[in-house]
Structure 1
Amino acid sequence: MQFDTWLLFAGAAIALSMVPGPNNLLAMFNGARYGVVSAAVGGVGRIMAFALMIVIAATGLGVILAASETAFLIIKWVGAVYLVWLGVKSWLAKVHDVDADTVTGSGQVVLMAYPGAFTLARTEFLTAIGNPKAILIFTAFFPQFLDPAQAYGAQFTVMGLTFLAMESSVLLVYGLLGGQVKGLIRSARHMRMLNRVSGALLVGAGVLLAFTERTRSSA
């Protein structure tokens, strides 16, 4: 892959990664609830899902999935229902009132119980893997930068690693944005407001995904 082609691909990849989709919302709200490190830990699940999708696209299975209306609809509706469920769960999440039991030895207020690294990563993984638009991006976007005169596998590997690097950088940016909000959350009322905003946005993302058409998402 020529360096100028790679630069063009990298710029397009980071632009795609910056779009405020469900995974970026999760990174931001995880940062706001639990801190930047937790947002990064959760993002591991997203990167694993995208890596799997890139492998699927590279082996040609992505073309089959992209061409299948049935596969698209199944993934779309499962993903939409999962996002709505996450939104409702966020809206109803238990928040601790500030008392002696919610203050750590360092004086930090703990308003929500930490769900664990595995849960955060699993949530991001399932959110990413349940978005059929991602597989369409990998099957339609990547081939535009392939040079038929060069080895296919090496080029796809470079593009895949570049995309994952850009995605990792962007999720950290969203986590940092959330981390800035974390410092402003001083009470249970603030945390409940955050959870309701998060819940409403995730439900909205699920509804939008449910109404997504295959031809529109591949554009």
Structure 2
Amino acid sequence: MSWNTFLLFAPACFAINLAFGPNNLLSLTYGMRSGVRIATVAALGRLVAFALMILLTAIGLGAVLAASELAFTVVKWVGAAYLVWLGFKILRSAKAGAIETKETSPQRSLSALMAQEFWTAIGNPKAILVFTAFFPQFLDLNAYGASFAVMGVTFLGLEVIAVIFYAVIGWRLGALARTGAVLTWFNRISGSMMIAFGIALAFTRRPA
């Protein structure tokens, strides 16, 4: 990949990383509840999922998913169901007043947060469609493996920056509003948005 191509790829890629979706909503929520560090570490689950998707795309399986109506539909409905379930789980925690903080969040909760990040990412077929449709526009066919590796590493690196960006916003919101009532309302909004993302995913159609 030439420098000119990379300089076109990087900002376009970062715009995708910054797009507000279910995973970035998780970073915002975790940042508010538990702080930037925990939100960033939890995002390792997301990065593993994206790395797997990039690998599958590189070896051609991403194109199979993009072309298969059945595969796309199965992943879509499983992902949508998970987002709706996760949304209701967040709403239940808001109703119960179970607000996690940096001081009270146990270590095993971090593993659970990482798992939520992973399954939220892996259950969204639109993510692999991004890699299937977006990456090839910048692909150097004379250096297929190297250019795909550069794009993959760049995407994951910029994703970390996006995670920190949303986690810091969440942390700042939490610092400005530490009352239980405000945090409960934030959980309600977060849970409702997650359910909305799930419903939106359920109505997503595979591009022709």
Deviation at 1:41, TM superposition (A): 1.2
Give yes or no for contact 1:31–1:177 (8 Å, CA) kept in 2.
yes
Pair 1:39 & 2:39 matched: yes
Report the CA distance shift for 1:170/1:109 in structure 2 as closer, same or farther (over 3 A).
closer
* CA distance in 1: counterparts of 2:47 and 2:84, whole angstroms: 22
Give yes or no for contact 1:32–1:182 (8 Å, CA) kept in 2.
yes
Match of 1:146 among 109, 132, 139: 139
* CA distance in 2: counterparts of 1:186 and 1:152, whole angstroms: 50
Q: Residue 95 of structure 1 corresponds to which residue in structure 2?
A: 97
Tell me which amino acid in the other structure corresponds to 1:84: V
Report the CA distance shift for 1:71/1:109 in structure 2 as closer, same or farther (over 3 A).
closer
Q: Residue 30 of structure 1 corresponds to which residue in structure 2?
A: 30
Give unmatched runs, 5+ long, in structure 2.
none
Give yes or no for contact 1:75–1:130 (8 Å, CA) kept in 2.
yes
Q: Residue 119 of structure 1 corresponds to which residue in structure 2?
A: 112
Q: How many residues align?
A: 205
Q: Residue 176 of structure 2 corresponds to which residue in structure 1?
A: 184
Q: Residue 198 of structure 2 corresponds to which residue in structure 1?
A: 206
Runs of 4+ in structure 1 off by over 3 angstroms are: 112-115
Compare CA radii of gyration and give the structure with the larger one.
1
Deviation at 1:113, TM superposition (A): 4.4
* CA distance in 2: counterparts of 1:147 and 1:83, whole angstroms: 36
CA RMSD in angstroms comes to 1.8
1:18-40 CA-partner distances (Å, limit 9, x unpaired): 11000000000100011111110
* CA distance in 2: counterparts of 1:202 and 1:193, whole angstroms: 14
Q: Residue 137 of structure 1 corresponds to which residue in structure 2?
A: 130
* CA distance in 1: counterparts of 2:161 and 2:97, whole angstroms: 30
TM-score by length of 1: 0.89
Give yes or no for contact 2:31–2:171 (8 Å, CA) kept in 1.
yes
Identity within the alignment, %: 49
Tell me which amino acid in the other structure corresponds to 2:8: L
* CA distance in 2: counterparts of 1:177 and 1:80, whole angstroms: 26
Q: Residue 62 of structure 1 corresponds to which residue in structure 2?
A: 62
* CA distance in 1: counterparts of 2:178 and 2:50, whole angstroms: 35
Report the CA distance shift for 1:96/1:154 in structure 2 as closer, same or farther (over 3 A).
closer
Give unmatched runs, 5+ long, in structure 1.
103-107
TM-score by length of 2: 0.93
* CA distance in 2: counterparts of 1:168 and 1:53, whole angstroms: 16
* CA distance in 2: counterparts of 1:183 and 1:7, whole angstroms: 36
Q: Residue 4 of structure 1 corresponds to which residue in structure 2?
A: 4
Give yes or no for contact 1:39–1:175 (8 Å, CA) kept in 2.
yes
Report the CA distance shift for 1:72/1:96 in structure 2 as closer, same or farther (over 3 A).
closer
